């Protein structure tokens, strides 16, 4: 069985985000970029399925400018077999990304697509579900466990009240939550080996997809600042402040 995994290049999760002075966006110049953490979990899950003998090939795809090849190489170093970069300078919205991915699904015919549940930059949490709709495939979102049995997948999902398990007919889309697995670190020999794995570049314009979004960002601003308050010395002081000053208890 073939698994398609998607990865997004995003600002590293440890980097402090700065809003540009002209409110046009977030300053990404000279900042450290990484694989979106949820996408890394997706890669790890696919590689584990291959190691268990469930999957035979793991294909990793990323959409973006040439720089995202770095994240594809990272995924290859973690154990994916080959990469596809869909080249575009545009900052695409989830719907456009899902449309491009639907074409990749059509071309590659994977039995399973594993994606991160959300990217930590746009925080949209949409692309996997949209890809499901456009391909007509079922989805198991926010997955904390994935079990493949024949032509079915059982996905345990993290939901507001606890956990829910759904059965999906394959092919299917899975989006990852934090507890699905703990991604490995790439070893140096694997990083070297990844440089020789195949990475195909395709122009986004060649997919016949309308890449214009109808959503326009008017401005990006700093959130309201929250000033630190005061330190109290004792529990009694704290209770008194909550009662008399804040009046919340």
> What's the rounded Cα separation, in Å, for the pair 198 and 55?
18
51 membership: H or E segment, kind and range: helix 37-51
| Cα 224 from chain centroid (whole Å) | 27
User: CB under 8 A: which stretch of 1-9, 41-49, 70-78, 126-134 binds another protein?
Assistant: 126-134
Among 124, 186, 190, 193, binds another protein (CB under 8 A): 124
Instruction: Return the residue of 21, 29, 188, 246 that touches another protein, per CB under 8 A.
Output: 246
On the CB side of 43, how many CA atoms lie within 13 Å of its CA?
30
Which residue number, 22 or 123, has a Cβ lying nearer to another protein? 123
**What binding mask, one character per residue, do residues 24-63 give for another protein by CB under 8 A, x or -?**
--x-------------------------------------
The yes or no reply on residue 188 touching another protein (CB under 8 A) is no
Of the candidates 217, 248, 201, 166, the residue with the CA atom closest to the CA atom of residue 20: 217
In angstroms, rounded to a whole number, what is the distance separating the alpha carbons of residues 83 and 194?
10
Minimal distance, residue 140 CB to another protein, in Å? 8
Complex with another protein: residue 54 or 166, whichever CB lies closer: 166
Residue 97 CB coordination number (10 Å): 25
Choose, by CB under 8 A, the member of 89, 188, 216, 244 that binds another protein: 216
Spatial CA neighbour of 84 closest among 113, 125, 44? 113
Residue 79 or 128 having the CB closest to another protein: 128
């Amino acid at each position: 069985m073939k698994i398609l995994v998607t990865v997004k290049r995003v600002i590293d999760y440890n980097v402090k985000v700065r809003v540009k002075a002209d409110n046009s966006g977030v300053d990404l110049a000279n900042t450290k970029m990484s694989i979106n953490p949820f996408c890394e979990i997706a890669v790890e899950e696919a590689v584990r399925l291959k190691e268990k003998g469930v999957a035979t090939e793991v294909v990793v795809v990323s959409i973006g400018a040439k720089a995202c090849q770095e994240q594809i190489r990272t995924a290859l170093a973690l154990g994916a077999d080959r990469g596809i970069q869909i080249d575009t300078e545009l900052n695409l919205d989830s719907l456009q990304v899902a449309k491009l991915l639907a074409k990749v699904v059509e071309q590659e015919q994977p039995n399973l697509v594993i994606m991160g549940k959300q990217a930590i930059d746009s925080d949209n949490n949409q692309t996997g579900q949209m890809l499901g709709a456009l391909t007509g495939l079922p989805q198991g979102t926010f997955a904390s466990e994935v079990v493949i049995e024949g032509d079915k997948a059982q996905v345990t999902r993290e939901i507001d009240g606890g956990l829910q398990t759904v059965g999906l007919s394959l092919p299917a889309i899975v989006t990852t939550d934090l507890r699905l697995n703990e991604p490995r670190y790439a070893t140096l020999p694997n990083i070297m080996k990844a440089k020789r794995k195949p990475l195909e570049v395709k122009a986004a314009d060649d997919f016949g997809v309308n890449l214009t979004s109808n959503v326009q960002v008017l401005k990006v601003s700093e959130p309201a600042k929250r000033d630190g308050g005061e330190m109290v010395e004792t529990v009694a002081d704290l209770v008194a402040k909550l009662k008399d000053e804040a009046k919340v208890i």
